[in-house]
Amino acid sequence: MDLATVTSHRLARGRDDLALAPGETLLAGGTWLFSEPQPEVSGLVDLTTLGWPDWESEPDALRIGATCTVERALGAPWGPAASLVSAAADSFLMSWKVQHVATVGGNLALALPAGAMVSLSAGLGASVVIWTPDGGTREQPVVDFVTGAGTTTLAPGEVIRAVDVPVAALSLPLAFRRTSLTPLGRAAAVVVGCGRTITLTASTTRPVVLDADDLDAGLAEVDCWYDDPHGPADWRAHVTGVLAREVRSDLAR
């Protein structure tokens, strides 16, 4: 949709361009920004012109740039984790167009329970790399970065630069399960297994990491089941338990 209140569009070329004036907001893929009215937004600062690489190989991590689209992220060197990444990306079942344009950073910043990149990165034990307005950088595990449905630890002026996925996680046993109320509906429960950890998203307001060896006790303690038109909380708790036990079986194989 048109954003009728927007009167300026700046292309960011460097870090100095990320200082926002009143009314300005960051623009990445724009799939969410242009999907609903933004009456308080008068200017857009485009991150996609910063020239960040889609991915870089760090000594211990695969770094996915925040402006990498979900579709392009599929081409990163995931090794044995490629099928897990593909399954997570396909969680964007509502529209292939969204997967084509939406960025990894935008998905993390929105922090929706059904955030496909939240599910993937939390499940692999990844950390968010954040540029702070004083010129510094901070890193935080995705499971701590997302604090609730649509809430994160991002402070005003902070920008997600990348997400670092530990290379060691990519060669651990991996498993993925997803369900939704309707075949092409938004994800209602996503469970990712990695080694001995089982991470719940979509059915919970924030990512929850459980120990596969203590799964039932962990499930019983979950206190943040999500409730919205894509599934009531009690149903989500039940199907998540079923999926998590399937993931545990897969990991044990």
- Residues contributing to the site for ligand FAD (CB under 6 A): 25-33, 35, 47, 66, 92, 94-95, 98, 102-103, 105-107, 109-110, 112, 114-116, 159-160, 186
Q: 116, 187 in Cβ contact below 8 A?
A: yes
Nearest to 84 by CA among 95, 94, 93, 73: 73
Token digits for 19?
A: 């200082």
Residue nearer to ligand FAD on the CB measure, 87 or 109: 109
Provide, rounded to whole angstroms, the least separation between the CB of residue 233 and ligand FAD: 19
Provide, rounded to whole angstroms, the least separation between the CB of residue 41 and ligand FAD: 9
Q: Which residues pair with 130 in a beta bridge?
A: 138, 160
Q: If DSSP states are collapsed to H, E and C, what string results for 73-113?
A: HCCCCCHHHHHHHHHHHCCCCCCHHHHHHCEHHHHHHHCCC
Q: Which residue is nearest to ligand FAD (CB)?
A: 106
Residue nearer to ligand FAD on the CB measure, 83 or 95: 95
Q: 181, 199 in Cβ contact below 8 A?
A: no
Provide, rounded to whole angstroms, the least separation between the CB of residue 213 and ligand FAD: 30
Residue nearer to ligand FAD on the CB measure, 62 or 102: 102
Residue nearer to ligand FAD on the CB measure, 184 or 220: 184
